Amino acid sequence: MKIATAAYPLSWLSGWSDYEAKITQWVAEAVGQGADLLVFPEYGAMELASLSGAEAAGSVQGSIAAVGEWLEQANALFSRLSSERGVHILSPSAPLRDGDRTVNRAGLFTPSSAVGWQDKQIMTRFERDDWGIEGGGPLQLFDTALGRIGVLICYDSEFPLLAKALADAGAELILVPSCTEALEGYWRVRIGSMARALELQCVTVMSSLIGTEPRLYAVEENTGTGGIFGPPDKGFPPTGVIACGTLDQPGWTIAEINLDAIRAVRADGHVLNLAHWQEQVPRIGQVAKTRLA
């Protein structure tokens, strides 16, 4: 398959037609380059808050409520584009009300009009303390026509046991939509993504929100780029970097991925990290304390 992952800049929208035209153009550009799977970033849906005006978009609860007013229409757009263009699309994630809590959710849309949802599992300090967002529903393994896909939203990629659970369920490809304000945040998620590709002998796909829009609460400044990573082993680049965009430059980063290469390296790589994972378990309870005076 060919994967396109976005460095996606937020816009201040004057009407729904602006958003529809923007997303349609982005999808068309990726499809024009032969992409089968498109990955948009975390909190990319926050630009929808601008459709409800500056006052709503500029506050904690106002921005969440404003985005919620447009999500059904946005999801219908992604579903239509996925079907019309014959591609799988991970939509930009959004904060939304789920019962008595607010979660951070992304949708995986398929050409057959099927859709699956993945909620972020572990919140950053800002999300939990300032925004009041909570961990949502369970991790999902999406068994698609392209292969078995998992999603770890931003901070989730920094926790290896979440990724291991997806790998144990059969995931060969893990998508990592991200939103990071500063360069150190970008590198935390990138290092996490690359580490998960190493440990689990899989491919990870990082997308980034980029740019500055001071009128949109919580996503005023964003840094990052798209990246596609694999295990530094046979069949993959020695750096583990399959493709990487230019920092803060909008556009798609695209690479072709063969899932057979993942299966081959898991079965007969120079190292077998995934197969040898369990060898850690009896050893982590055997830390010997030795005083060296």
Mind listing the domains of the chain with CATH numbers?
Answer: 2-271 (3.60.110.10)
The residue type at 258: N
Query: How far is Cα 198 from Cα 240, in angstroms, rounded to an integer?
Result: 8
Q: Which residues contact residue 279 at a Cβ distance below 8 angstroms, ignoring those fewer than 6 apart? A: none
Which pair of structure tokens corresponds to residue 200? 């689990």
Query: How far is Cα 177 from Cα 91, in angstroms, rounded to an integer?
Result: 9
- Predicted TM-score of the model (pTM): 0.97
pLDDT per residue over 212-267, tens digit each?
A: 999 999 999 999 999 999 999 999 999 999 999 999 999 999 999 999 999 999 99
Largest separation between any pair of C-alpha atoms in the chain = 71
Query: How far is Cα 260 from Cα 292, in angstroms, rounded to an integer?
Result: 49
Query: How far is Cα 190 from Cα 233, in angstroms, rounded to an integer?
Result: 18
Which pair of structure tokens corresponds to residue 251? 């556009």
Q: What's residue 262's pLDDT?
A: 97
Sign (positive or negative) of CA dihedral 115, 32, 73, 40: positive
Q: What's residue 60's pLDDT?
A: 86
The closest alpha carbon to 188, from 199, 179, 201, belongs to 179
Phi, psi of 142 (to 5 degrees): -100, 115
The closest alpha carbon to 125, from 248, 218, 10, 211, belongs to 218
Looking at the DSSP bridge assignments, the partners of residue 2 are 256
Looking at the DSSP bridge assignments, the partners of residue 207 are 177
Q: What's residue 285's pLDDT?
A: 85
Q: What's residue 224's pLDDT?
A: 98
The list of the chain residues with pLDDT below 50 reads none
